[in-house]
Amino acid sequence: MAFPVRAITLDLDDTVWPFAPIGVRIERVLDQWMRRHSPATADMFPAEAMRTLRERVGAENPSLAHDMSALRRMTLEAALRESGGDVAMADAAYEAFFAERNKVECYPEAIHALERISARLPIAALSNGNADLARIGLDHLFSAQLSACSFGSAKPDRAIFLAACAQLGVPPAEVLHVGDHPEADVAGAARAGLRSCWINRADDHGRRLQWRHDEVEPDLHFDSLAGLADWLDAALPAPGDRTRSTHA
């Protein structure tokens, strides 16, 4: 192995599970919730209008760009207020959203790959989203979880990468960040001094992205988390084997 790896930081959305189907379900569930509890809000803000409102709220609150939870709650409050609904219902509406947001369907190989990886190295979830690993039922595979919402800034800010390394107690040069996004994950990790692994999954038509970032290239490149698990199996000693070095 050309570089040491003592810990992993791992993106979640579109790395461990696809986010697009979650987003579709969230819109449907919120619309149904509003139609039951605040019909005037549902009439004024059907799914597409609610999406536009969320974009407006985000544009009006750039300082909260890292906090998806706060922006979602503010959007629900604005929808209720502008439609003459009861703004006090925003908490219950948010809970309906958050419950659906944490109903994820992992990529087919992801859970087994994470089990293999976590048996070798500590993993810290490092996400710009607001998924809750305990609700999802995957927290036992992670040593830590750090989100943009809780930290106060989002990837690719180097500070959030360094904070995750500090949680793990491992120097950045010995941490491998794994994610799907060329800028937020790969370039962001590189600027913070971490190693990077690009998970470049095929789309529904079997096509994969071409690397087009001039500033940096990923240290590793796989089409699934299973590929990373295989690489770690080959590069690292077996768990519990203290006779071999973890460095190349």
pLDDT digits (tens, 9 = 90+) for 104-116: 999 999 999 999 9
pLDDT confidence band for 210 (50 / 70 / 90): confident
Q: Are 155 and 128 in contact (CB under 8 A)?
A: yes
70-79, 141-150, 205-214, 221-230 — which is least confidently predicted?
205-214
The Cα 20–Cα 115 span in angstroms is 24
Query: Is 62 a residue whose pLDDT tops 70?
Result: yes
Query: Which residue from 178, 110, 173, 167 is spatially nearest to 143, judged by alpha carbons?
Result: 167
Query: Can you list the alpha helix ranges (DSSP code H) found in 89-141?
Result: 90-101, 110-118, 133-136
The domain 20-101 is placed in CATH, from the list 3.90.110.10, 1.20.120.1600, 3.10.450.40, 2.40.50.100, at: 1.20.120.1600
17 contacts: CB under 8 Å, gap ≥ 6: 104, 105, 106, 107, 110
Share of the chain above pLDDT 90, in %: 88
Q: What is the mean pLDDT of the chain?
A: 93
Question: What residue has token string 């449907």?
Answer: 28
Residue scoring higher pLDDT (212 or 13)? 13
pLDDT confidence band for 248 (50 / 70 / 90): very low
**For residues 100-105, average pLDDT:** 97
The Cα 40–Cα 152 span in angstroms is 35
- Cis bond upstream, residue 46 (ω within 30): no
pLDDT confidence band for 213 (50 / 70 / 90): confident
**The predicted structure's pLDDT at residue 240:** 61
Phi then psi dihedrals of residue 84, to 5 deg: 80, 15
Query: Is 1 a residue whose pLDDT tops 70?
Result: no
> What are the tokens at 129?
């989203």
Say what the pTM is. Answer: 0.91
2-6, 64-68, 93-97, 137-141 — which is least confidently predicted?
2-6
**The predicted structure's pLDDT at residue 237:** 74
Please report, for residues 101, 163, 219, the alpha-carbon distance to residue 159 in angstroms, rounded to integers and kept in the order given. Answer: 26, 6, 20
pLDDT confidence band for 239 (50 / 70 / 90): low
**For residues 30-38, average pLDDT:** 98
Topology of domain 7-17+106-235 in CATH is Rossmann fold (3.40.50)
User: Residue ranges per domain, the chain?
Assistant: 7-17+106-235, 20-101
Neighbours of 121 (CB within 10 A): 19
Query: Is 243 a residue whose pLDDT tops 70?
Result: no
**The predicted structure's pLDDT at residue 244:** 39
20 contacts: CB under 8 Å, gap ≥ 6: none
> What are the tokens at 130?
């607001």
